Structure 1
Amino acid sequence: MDQQIDPVIAAKNIVESYLERSMVPDPEGAAVYVSDDFKLVFTGGRQFSVPAESAAFNAKRYAWVKKKFLRTDAALDEETGDVHVYNTGYLFGEWKDGSTFETNRYMDKFVVRNGKIISTDVWNDSAEIILHKAGLAEADL
Protein backbone atom coordinates (compact mmCIF):
# COMPACT_ATOMS: atom_id res chain seq x y z
CA MET A 1 0.00 0.00 0.00
CA ASP A 2 1.31 3.45 -0.94
CA GLN A 3 1.14 5.62 2.16
CA GLN A 4 0.75 9.34 1.58
CA ILE A 5 1.99 11.71 4.26
CA ASP A 6 -0.74 14.17 5.20
CA PRO A 7 0.78 17.60 4.40
CA VAL A 8 -1.22 19.28 7.18
CA ILE A 9 0.03 16.89 9.86
CA ALA A 10 3.58 17.10 8.48
CA ALA A 11 3.49 20.93 8.51
CA LYS A 12 2.21 21.01 12.11
CA ASN A 13 5.05 18.69 13.15
CA ILE A 14 7.62 20.86 11.32
CA VAL A 15 6.35 24.01 13.06
CA GLU A 16 6.27 22.45 16.52
CA SER A 17 9.77 20.99 16.02
CA TYR A 18 11.02 24.41 14.89
CA LEU A 19 9.46 26.08 17.94
CA GLU A 20 10.94 23.47 20.29
CA ARG A 21 14.43 24.09 18.87
CA SER A 22 13.88 27.86 19.03
CA MET A 23 13.00 27.67 22.72
CA VAL A 24 16.20 25.86 23.77
CA PRO A 25 17.44 28.26 22.22
CA ASP A 26 19.11 26.36 19.40
CA PRO A 27 18.99 28.66 16.36
CA GLU A 28 21.14 26.29 14.29
CA GLY A 29 18.76 23.42 15.03
CA ALA A 30 15.77 25.63 14.25
CA ALA A 31 17.36 26.64 10.93
CA VAL A 32 17.01 23.04 9.68
CA TYR A 33 13.25 23.65 9.41
CA VAL A 34 13.35 26.88 7.39
CA SER A 35 13.83 27.60 3.69
CA ASP A 36 16.79 29.50 2.25
CA ASP A 37 14.53 32.51 1.61
CA PHE A 38 12.88 32.40 5.06
CA LYS A 39 11.23 35.60 6.30
CA LEU A 40 10.26 36.19 9.93
CA VAL A 41 8.34 39.29 11.02
CA PHE A 42 8.03 40.03 14.75
CA THR A 43 5.49 42.25 16.44
CA GLY A 44 6.29 45.84 15.53
CA GLY A 45 7.45 44.90 12.04
CA ARG A 46 10.97 43.71 12.98
CA GLN A 47 12.22 41.49 10.15
CA PHE A 48 14.67 38.62 10.38
CA SER A 49 15.92 36.11 7.81
CA VAL A 50 17.45 33.39 10.03
CA PRO A 51 16.49 32.00 13.45
CA ALA A 52 19.75 33.26 14.98
CA GLU A 53 18.62 36.87 14.42
CA SER A 54 15.37 36.42 16.32
CA ALA A 55 17.21 34.51 19.09
CA ALA A 56 19.61 37.48 19.44
CA PHE A 57 16.66 39.88 19.63
CA ASN A 58 14.97 37.76 22.31
CA ALA A 59 18.23 37.66 24.30
CA LYS A 60 18.09 41.46 24.55
CA ARG A 61 14.50 41.44 25.83
CA TYR A 62 14.31 38.37 28.06
CA ALA A 63 16.65 36.64 30.52
CA TRP A 64 14.91 33.54 29.17
CA VAL A 65 11.61 32.78 27.45
CA LYS A 66 9.65 29.64 26.52
CA LYS A 67 6.26 28.88 24.98
CA LYS A 68 3.38 26.92 26.41
CA PHE A 69 1.52 25.63 23.36
CA LEU A 70 -2.25 25.74 23.60
CA ARG A 71 -3.14 24.91 19.99
CA THR A 72 -1.58 24.23 16.64
CA ASP A 73 -4.03 24.47 13.76
CA ALA A 74 -3.30 24.17 10.06
CA ALA A 75 -5.01 24.44 6.69
CA LEU A 76 -3.86 23.37 3.24
CA ASP A 77 -4.07 25.91 0.41
CA GLU A 78 -5.22 23.60 -2.38
CA GLU A 79 -4.09 26.04 -5.11
CA THR A 80 -0.48 26.50 -3.97
CA GLY A 81 0.11 23.39 -1.84
CA ASP A 82 1.26 25.66 1.00
CA VAL A 83 0.13 24.82 4.50
CA HIS A 84 -0.78 27.72 6.80
CA VAL A 85 -0.07 26.80 10.42
CA TYR A 86 -1.18 28.77 13.48
CA ASN A 87 0.36 28.12 16.89
CA THR A 88 -0.98 29.95 19.93
CA GLY A 89 -0.42 29.90 23.66
CA TYR A 90 1.47 31.73 26.38
CA LEU A 91 5.03 32.94 26.71
CA PHE A 92 6.56 32.39 30.13
CA GLY A 93 9.96 33.30 31.42
CA GLU A 94 11.96 36.07 33.02
CA TRP A 95 12.50 39.67 32.00
CA LYS A 96 15.98 41.19 32.09
CA ASP A 97 15.09 42.85 35.43
CA GLY A 98 14.58 39.42 37.04
CA SER A 99 10.78 39.57 37.25
CA THR A 100 8.90 36.57 35.89
CA PHE A 101 5.88 36.25 33.62
CA GLU A 102 3.64 33.40 32.53
CA THR A 103 0.51 34.74 30.82
CA ASN A 104 2.02 36.67 27.91
CA ARG A 105 -0.24 35.67 25.01
CA TYR A 106 1.27 34.86 21.62
CA MET A 107 0.08 33.83 18.17
CA ASP A 108 2.47 32.69 15.45
CA LYS A 109 1.48 32.16 11.82
CA PHE A 110 3.66 30.01 9.57
CA VAL A 111 3.62 29.11 5.89
CA VAL A 112 5.15 25.72 5.11
CA ARG A 113 6.06 24.85 1.52
CA ASN A 114 7.75 21.63 0.40
CA GLY A 115 8.58 20.65 3.97
CA LYS A 116 10.22 23.95 4.97
CA ILE A 117 8.93 27.05 6.76
CA ILE A 118 9.06 29.93 4.29
CA SER A 119 7.56 32.64 6.50
CA THR A 120 6.52 33.38 10.04
CA ASP A 121 4.55 36.24 11.57
CA VAL A 122 4.80 36.61 15.36
CA TRP A 123 2.46 38.54 17.67
CA ASN A 124 2.59 38.69 21.48
CA ASP A 125 1.82 40.91 24.47
CA SER A 126 5.46 41.67 25.34
CA ALA A 127 5.45 45.28 24.15
CA GLU A 128 2.23 46.03 26.06
CA ILE A 129 3.66 44.43 29.20
CA ILE A 130 6.87 46.45 28.89
CA LEU A 131 4.84 49.66 28.44
CA HIS A 132 2.76 48.78 31.50
CA LYS A 133 5.88 48.12 33.61
CA ALA A 134 7.25 51.52 32.53
CA GLY A 135 4.00 53.30 33.46
CA LEU A 136 3.32 54.14 29.80
CA ALA A 137 0.35 51.86 29.08
CA GLU A 138 -2.77 53.51 27.74
CA ALA A 139 -5.00 51.08 29.63
CA ASP A 140 -4.71 48.55 32.43
CA LEU A 141 -3.71 45.03 31.50
Structure 2
Amino acid sequence: MTAASTAVEIVKEFLAASMAPDPDRAAALMAADVVITFTGKRVMPTVHGVTAFNAGRYQWVKKQLGDFDWMEKSPGHVVVYCTGFLYGVWPDGREFAGNRYLDRYEVIAGRISKMDVWNDSAEWILTPELNQSPR
Protein backbone atom coordinates (compact mmCIF):
# COMPACT_ATOMS: atom_id res chain seq x y z
CA MET A 1 0.00 0.00 0.00
CA THR A 2 1.32 3.46 -0.87
CA ALA A 3 1.50 6.35 1.60
CA ALA A 4 -1.32 8.08 -0.31
CA SER A 5 -3.67 5.08 -0.27
CA THR A 6 -2.92 4.50 3.43
CA ALA A 7 -3.69 8.17 4.17
CA VAL A 8 -7.01 7.96 2.31
CA GLU A 9 -7.95 4.83 4.28
CA ILE A 10 -7.08 6.59 7.56
CA VAL A 11 -9.34 9.52 6.60
CA LYS A 12 -12.16 7.15 5.59
CA GLU A 13 -11.84 5.32 8.92
CA PHE A 14 -11.86 8.67 10.75
CA LEU A 15 -15.02 9.75 8.92
CA ALA A 16 -16.78 6.46 9.72
CA ALA A 17 -15.88 6.86 13.40
CA SER A 18 -16.97 10.50 13.40
CA MET A 19 -20.37 9.69 11.92
CA ALA A 20 -21.01 6.77 14.29
CA PRO A 21 -20.39 8.96 16.41
CA ASP A 22 -17.44 7.38 18.16
CA PRO A 23 -15.12 10.27 19.09
CA ASP A 24 -12.74 7.99 20.99
CA ARG A 25 -12.14 5.83 17.89
CA ALA A 26 -11.83 8.98 15.76
CA ALA A 27 -9.35 10.51 18.23
CA ALA A 28 -7.16 7.40 18.04
CA LEU A 29 -6.51 8.26 14.37
CA MET A 30 -5.24 11.75 15.18
CA ALA A 31 -1.84 12.99 16.23
CA ALA A 32 -1.55 14.21 19.84
CA ASP A 33 -0.93 17.77 18.60
CA VAL A 34 -3.63 17.75 15.88
CA VAL A 35 -4.92 21.13 14.71
CA ILE A 36 -8.67 21.09 13.90
CA THR A 37 -10.21 24.18 12.29
CA PHE A 38 -13.88 24.44 11.31
CA THR A 39 -15.71 26.96 9.16
CA GLY A 40 -15.44 30.46 10.60
CA LYS A 41 -11.92 29.75 11.94
CA ARG A 42 -13.36 27.80 14.88
CA VAL A 43 -10.39 25.93 16.35
CA MET A 44 -11.38 22.72 18.10
CA PRO A 45 -9.01 21.46 20.80
CA THR A 46 -9.88 17.80 20.17
CA VAL A 47 -12.19 15.62 18.10
CA HIS A 48 -14.44 15.55 21.18
CA GLY A 49 -14.85 19.31 20.66
CA VAL A 50 -16.05 18.60 17.12
CA THR A 51 -18.68 16.20 18.47
CA ALA A 52 -19.83 18.80 21.02
CA PHE A 53 -19.96 21.56 18.38
CA ASN A 54 -22.02 19.40 16.01
CA ALA A 55 -24.40 18.45 18.85
CA GLY A 56 -25.20 22.15 19.27
CA ARG A 57 -25.62 22.84 15.56
CA TYR A 58 -27.63 19.75 14.49
CA GLN A 59 -30.01 17.20 15.99
CA TRP A 60 -27.90 14.87 13.92
CA VAL A 61 -25.68 15.13 10.84
CA LYS A 62 -24.03 12.64 8.49
CA LYS A 63 -21.84 12.90 5.42
CA GLN A 64 -22.67 11.52 2.01
CA LEU A 65 -19.07 10.89 1.01
CA GLY A 66 -18.05 12.02 -2.42
CA ASP A 67 -14.60 12.20 -3.93
CA PHE A 68 -11.23 11.74 -2.27
CA ASP A 69 -8.27 13.51 -3.83
CA TRP A 70 -4.75 13.48 -2.46
CA MET A 71 -1.22 14.65 -2.98
CA GLU A 72 2.04 13.74 -1.34
CA LYS A 73 3.39 16.95 0.18
CA SER A 74 6.66 15.27 1.14
CA PRO A 75 7.66 11.66 1.82
CA GLY A 76 5.22 10.30 4.40
CA HIS A 77 3.19 13.55 4.48
CA VAL A 78 -0.05 13.25 2.48
CA VAL A 79 -2.80 15.84 2.03
CA VAL A 80 -6.26 14.30 1.51
CA TYR A 81 -9.31 16.25 0.33
CA CYS A 82 -12.79 14.83 0.78
CA THR A 83 -15.88 16.40 -0.77
CA GLY A 84 -19.53 15.48 -0.60
CA PHE A 85 -22.79 16.53 1.02
CA LEU A 86 -24.09 16.80 4.58
CA TYR A 87 -27.58 15.65 5.44
CA GLY A 88 -29.45 15.54 8.72
CA VAL A 89 -31.82 17.47 10.94
CA TRP A 90 -31.47 21.04 12.26
CA PRO A 91 -32.18 21.70 15.94
CA ASP A 92 -35.71 22.89 15.06
CA GLY A 93 -36.56 19.54 13.43
CA ARG A 94 -36.24 20.59 9.76
CA GLU A 95 -34.47 18.01 7.60
CA PHE A 96 -31.74 19.04 5.20
CA ALA A 97 -29.66 17.43 2.46
CA GLY A 98 -27.35 18.56 -0.31
CA ASN A 99 -25.25 20.74 2.03
CA ARG A 100 -21.83 20.87 0.34
CA TYR A 101 -18.71 20.18 2.38
CA LEU A 102 -14.98 20.14 1.77
CA ASP A 103 -12.58 18.62 4.30
CA ARG A 104 -8.80 18.82 4.07
CA TYR A 105 -6.63 16.47 6.12
CA GLU A 106 -2.89 16.22 6.54
CA VAL A 107 -1.70 12.73 7.42
CA ILE A 108 1.82 12.26 8.77
CA ALA A 109 3.22 8.98 10.09
CA GLY A 110 -0.20 7.32 9.98
CA ARG A 111 -2.01 9.99 12.02
CA ILE A 112 -4.16 12.97 11.07
CA SER A 113 -2.11 16.03 12.07
CA LYS A 114 -4.32 18.75 10.60
CA MET A 115 -8.00 18.92 9.71
CA ASP A 116 -9.80 21.83 8.04
CA VAL A 117 -13.58 21.77 7.48
CA TRP A 118 -15.81 23.95 5.27
CA ASN A 119 -19.54 23.57 4.54
CA ASP A 120 -22.70 25.49 3.68
CA SER A 121 -24.34 25.13 7.12
CA ALA A 122 -23.82 28.72 8.29
CA GLU A 123 -25.28 30.10 5.07
CA TRP A 124 -28.23 27.72 5.26
CA ILE A 125 -28.90 28.68 8.89
CA LEU A 126 -28.89 32.39 7.96
CA THR A 127 -30.94 31.88 4.77
CA PRO A 128 -33.11 28.75 5.18
CA GLU A 129 -34.58 29.01 1.66
CA LEU A 130 -31.16 27.98 0.29
CA ASN A 131 -32.06 24.49 1.55
CA GLN A 132 -35.17 24.16 -0.62
CA SER A 133 -33.71 21.95 -3.37
CA PRO A 134 -31.21 19.32 -2.25
CA ARG A 135 -28.79 18.42 -5.04
Q: Specify the TM-score bucket, using the shorter chain as the normaliser.
A: over 0.9
Percentage identity across paired residues of the two chains: 43
Give, in whole Å, the separation in 2 of the partners of 1:37 and 1:67: 25
Give, in whole Å, the separation in 2 of the partners of 1:7 and 1:49: 27
Moved over 4 A (4+): none
Residue aligning to 1:35: 31
Pairwise mapping of residues 60-99 of structure 1 onto structure 2 (< 5 A)?
Answer: 60-78=56-74, 81-99=76-94
Q: TM-score when scaled to structure 1?
A: 0.89
Counterpart code for 2:47: P
* Per-residue CA distance 1:24-65 (angstroms, 9 max, x = gap): 111101001000001100000000121100100000000000
Q: TM-score when scaled to structure 2?
A: 0.93
- Quote the offset at 1:119 in angstroms: 0.4
- Quote the offset at 1:81 in angstroms: 2.9
Give, in whole Å, the separation in 2 of the partners of 1:101 and 1:92: 5
Give, in whole Å, the separation in 2 of the partners of 1:17 and 1:49: 20
Indicate yes or no: 2:58 matched with 1:47.
no
Counterpart code for 1:58: N
Counterpart code for 2:34: F
Q: Which runs of 5+ in 1 are unaligned?
A: none
Give, in whole Å, the separation in 2 of the partners of 1:49 and 1:86: 21
* Per-residue CA distance 1:101-136 (angstroms, 9 max, x = gap): 111000000000000000000000000000003x8x
Q: Could you say what secondary structure the match of 2:92 adopts?
A: coil
Task: State which of 8, 12, 21 in structure 1 corresponds to 2:4.
Answer: 8
Give, in whole Å, the separation in 2 of the partners of 1:108 and 1:9: 17
In our comparison, the structure showing a higher alpha carbon Rg is 1
Task: State which of 9, 14, 21 in structure 2 corresponds to 1:18.
Answer: 14
Counterpart code for 1:10: T
Counterpart code for 2:27: A
